[in-house]
Chains A and B, each alone.
Chain A
Amino acid sequence: MIHDQARYTHDETKREPLLSEKDQTTVEIDDDDDGPLPADLTRDSVTLPSLSEPEIARHYTRLSQMNWSIESGPYPLGSCTMKYNPKFTEDVAADPNAAIHPDRAAETVQGNLELRYRLQEYLGTIGGMDAVTLQPPAGAAGEFTGILIAKAYHEHHGNDRSEVIIPASAHGTNFATASMAGYDVVELPPGDDGRVDLEALEAAVSEDTAALMLTNPNTIGLFERDIVEIAEMVHDAGGLLYYDGANLNALLGRARPGDMGFDIMHYNVHKTFATPHGGGGPGAGPVGVVSELESYLPTPQVKQTDSGTYEEFEPERSIGKVHGFTGNWLVLIKTYAYIARLGDEGLLDASAKAVLNANYLASQLDLEIPYGPFHHEFAATSGDRDAADVAKRMLDFGVHPPTTKWPEMVPEAMLTEPTEIETKRSLDSLAEAFNRAYADTDEAIESAPSRTAATRIDQASAARNPRLSWHALEPDE
């Protein structure tokens, strides 16, 4: 099975040149007489490609043909929840009536405020949280918001706490967030069953604990069965419990972080609520909190008045802001549209089929899966084969491979999350790609891929000799 998408021909002449290789035009800036500004306030010239619209259309269309996407085929990137992005949400977000400047007076933007208010409410219900901010522009920004809220809460109560506890298997953003907020990270080793080890947690928790950051199901898809005890231990020590919402797709309609004892959570809407990942972003990372923390939320929040109109307000002890304005608005509209389309039944079915798909796919694999029972994702191990090499070979079989070599508690991990959008047939072909790549010769996997736009790319060379713009390329390069 050779896929044409994401592939380009080996014919050198068909390689898509850079815009700068198609044209470079220098425009001199007019001096005082003709230009609107004195020369000492302007640059001398600008040198950029000058191309016609048809040339630009072909350029980007060609580039798009060298790009794998959810609509090209399976994209089971573990932890990233690569769901189909419903088309209609793009049209809804493009409504010109919603294209409003953020500084407009509240009484003139009631429609936008209503959407924000209702999305705050929807998300609160889904997560079991009492109040929600929509401002954080991604999951990591949501974590940062949440940890700042925890910090403000402790400071308000006269508690100087210095540590955030994070399981070793957590996402890199958790660690980076805690340290950006000024905390020392206490790393929690995993228990033998792949979950939080209560004894290790007991040893880690202290009066220095500001928060424990946890995702549930965890990053290998296991539900933290002891979550109630975990919450108690952290709360007894005066700490707060933070929920990393990356894996919420597994729980939609079935369990809510708020009911498990979490105090703060972020929602990763580009995962759970199917807003497009956009080649790396934008996403959004709304944050929910329990009522005790509501007054610390970023400003502004939206509320409904007694007369039914909507207003912005600054929560009493607000941490301030985490985005210059009110976040990634277009993404928030798409989030709302997706939730409204699915409703209770749809959300419940999404988690059912996501978990069914992961379990079914796993059952068809020849690779060992050390930990279970898992939910929407699982970490298979490629054993004595290099997971990154096996993944590169999978590219030749027309699928996007899973996340590799993470989390580290599974050696040579292949973290796989097919999501609910795959059919049985597509899961069967995905399983075949896994099994064939896994069974292939060392030589085959080490030299893979060969049927893709580029063959194996030299990472070391890119880092050793950074060429980060077309200005940095040699003429013959």
Chain B
Amino acid sequence: MTAHIPDGSPFAPHTTADTKSMLEALEVDTEADLFDIPADVAFDGELGIDAQSERAVRTELAEMFSQNDSLTEFMGRGHYSTYVPSIVDHLADRAEFITSYTQYQPEITQGFLQALFEYQSMLVELTGLPVANCSMYDAATALAEATLLAGRVRSTTGDTVLVPETLRAGKRAVLENYVDGSGMQIETYGMDDGNADLDSLRAIAGEETAAVYAENPTVRGTIEESLSAIADVAHDNEGLFVLGTDLLALSLLSEPASVGADVVVGEADVLGLPTSNGMGLGIFATKETFLRQVPGRLVGASEDADDRRAYTLTLQTREQHIRKERATSNICTNQAWVALRAAIHAAWLGPEGLVSLAEDSVRNAQSLAAEIDEITGYKAPVHDRHHFREFVVHTEQPAAAIAGELASEGFAVHVVGEHELQVCITDVNESAADELVAAFEEVAA
């Protein structure tokens, strides 16, 4: 076997003989002769990174990750873990999918295009809105893009987005950066027992309102009860109603279109992606009227030369590679593979599986909260509302101390206030719920 050059890249396949003949064809002695880098900016030092065998890298990383404490997480607040069936990894990791790129040549990328078309269709079904793009980076950037859309469209004249005071700090920080260049403003409305405080919202809404943003479920896990009224506040002020949600909640809670949502954003990675340190999949769905203002990629059906149905990226004149500084967004590389994963997972669950998982999210949160509530020293849930997947617990002792002690018992929960913890239950951790309750009890005692 004529091995490729030793010490080179293990993924550059050149044999010594091939390299030689290629250099000869180019009439140079070495590859270095092909570079046109002036000496004053050339780097001739060492980076100091030692090459390692595949096995060594795997060992190094396995050891590094084993430094993480192995805790059973009861965490959510925007990043959720649902059991991902093996089939998702096996299909999505097929090289034909994962090692392809954006479908610039649709004739040889029909497979991914169809998968994304199906993903868009699932979102259309679940949101009730006719247009869904094939991904944003995450829920935070999707909210930011929806706000910019609200600022652009002709039907709104305002320049302000109204957001709940409980908006996750990370989301708010992203939103601030995206609106910064557009001249738009952010204002905050209050919450009443976990849900939107309509009086507070009405008090700040006005002709400057471009969009009202609300979440269902809210970041504290409550199910919003006044969606239509929130939509009315937005619409009465000629603003858009932007609703934040997730793929599983959509399967059970009020259909966004039926409560007046103009844009739906949120996380779709509740399906398809295990806990990934916050990596996401942003949902973006909207009405037909705003089609030409949508950010990101859209897959559409068309016909090929033989008049057969075929799929292609479409309405690309919205996008940066055509419209440059007047594009609807700068997004190019997106989260397509995560969308593929979510679609496979959703297909695997089917409508029965989606609905029953969503119903469990309500029931399990309710019963776990009730069990914690029985322990002296806690009140749960703090809000007198229906909950989806997560809820807030009031603690008599300082919450941080309790969380620390729970960690020594092997559990991770959120600290969301001086005397508030937040707990999230899904099909991944539900089997440990009894132990969590026991740990809460232990810690209180």
Contact = CB atoms under 8 A, between A and B. Distances in A.
B66 A111 contact: yes
B97 A67 contact: yes
A48 B351 contact: yes
B41 interface: yes
B379 interface: no
Nearest to A71: B95
Interface in B225-250: 225
Given A182-B183, A279-B112, A330-B276, A345 B304 contact: no
A395 B124 contact: no
B170 A453 contact: no
A70 B333 contact: no
Given A222-B36, A454-B310, A469 B132 contact: yes
Given A322-B174, A449-B107, A176 B276 contact: no
Interface string A331-374: 10100110111111111011011011101100110000000010
A228 B41 contact: yes
B384 interface: no
B370 interface: no
Interface stretch (A15-23, A287-295, A435-443): A15-23
Contacts of B202: none
B225 A41 contact: yes
A69 B95 contact: yes
Contacts of B138: 137, 323-325
A129 interface: no
B79 to A, nearest CB: 6
A198 to B, nearest CB: 14
B49 A463 contact: no
B409 interface: no
Given A175-B320, A454-B310, A276 B98 contact: yes
A251 B98 contact: no
A65 B41 CA distance: 46
Interface string B79-106: 1010001010111011111111111111
B137 A141 contact: yes
A9 B94 CA distance: 21
A281 B336 contact: yes
Interface stretch (A75-83, A199-207, A232-240, A379-387): A75-83
A326 B280 CA distance: 10
A171 B407 CA distance: 48
Given A279-B340, A341-B10, A102 B331 contact: no
A453 B108 contact: yes
A77 B104 CA distance: 9
B64 A115 contact: yes
Q: Which of A37, A105, A468 has the most CB of B within 10 A?
A: A468
Contacts of A457: 106-107, 302-305, 310-312
B399 interface: no
Contact of B61 (A35, A44, A333): A333
Given A94-B89, A176-B329, A179-B181, A466 B308 contact: no
B135 A281 contact: yes
B105 A277 contact: no
A211 interface: no
A455 B57 contact: no
Interface string B302-320: 1111101111101111011
A159 B71 CA distance: 48
Contact of B334 (A6, A185, A280, A344): A280
B261 interface: no
Contact of B99 (A179, A253, A277): A277
Interface stretch (B26-34, B155-163, B205-213, B432-440): B26-34
A350 B49 CA distance: 14
A342 B252 contact: no
B275 A99 contact: yes
Q: Which of B85, B126, B176, B331 has the most CB of A within 10 A?
A: B331
Contact of B174 (A38, A40, A323): A323
A341 B52 contact: yes
A349 B275 contact: no
B191 interface: no
A455 B107 contact: yes
Interface in B49-80: 49-54, 57-58, 60-62, 64-71, 73, 75, 77-79
A57 B87 contact: yes
Contacts of A322: 141, 174, 177
A130 B244 CA distance: 38
B350 A48 contact: yes
Contact of A461 (B26, B62, B303): B303
Contacts of A60: 91, 94, 115, 344
Given A63-B114, A70-B100, A97-B70, A140 B330 contact: yes
Contacts of B300: 462-463, 466-468
Interface residues of A, number: 200
Q: Which of B137, B322, B331, B336 has the most CB of A within 10 A?
A: B137
Contacts of A15: 308-309
Contact of A64 (B31, B65, B96, B325): B96
Contacts of B183: 182
A35 B359 CA distance: 7
Interface string B344-357: 10111011101100
Contact of B98 (A36, A139, A279, A472): A279
Contacts, number: 653
A66 B306 CA distance: 17
A281 B335 contact: yes
Interface residues of B, number: 188
Interface string B386-428: 1000000000000000010001000010100000000000000
Contact of B118 (A10, A18, A68): A18
B52 to A, nearest CB: 6
A139 B170 contact: no
A173 B274 CA distance: 30
A12 interface: yes
A196 interface: no
A331 B326 CA distance: 30
B220 interface: no
Contacts of B13: 421-423
A329 B37 contact: no
A337 B61 contact: yes
A180 B181 contact: yes
Contact of A182 (B51, B103, B181): B181
A373 B34 contact: yes
A144 interface: yes
B139 interface: yes
B332 A173 contact: yes
Contact of B22 (A48, A103, A128, A356): A356
B333 A277 contact: yes
Nearest to B403: A105
B125 interface: yes
Contacts of A346: 7-10, 51
Contacts of A356: 14, 19, 22-23, 26, 31, 34
A46 B351 CA distance: 6
B216 to A, nearest CB: 9
A84 to B, nearest CB: 5
A192 interface: no
Given A6-B108, A112-B65, A471-B124, A173 B330 contact: yes
Nearest to A24: B351
Given A90-B98, A223-B38, 20 more contacts: A6-B111, A41-B386, A63-B115, A66-B111, A68-B108, A92-B58, A95-B65, A99-B275, A101-B81, A108-B412, A115-B61, A175-B325, A176-B330, A182-B183, A277-B333, A324-B174, A343-B49, A350-B11, A424-B18, A452-B107
15 contacts: A20-B118, A25-B352, A51-B350, A85-B99, A115-B64, A144-B177, A175-B327, A255-B37, A326-B278, A337-B61, A340-B57, A452-B107, A455-B107, A457-B310, A458-B302
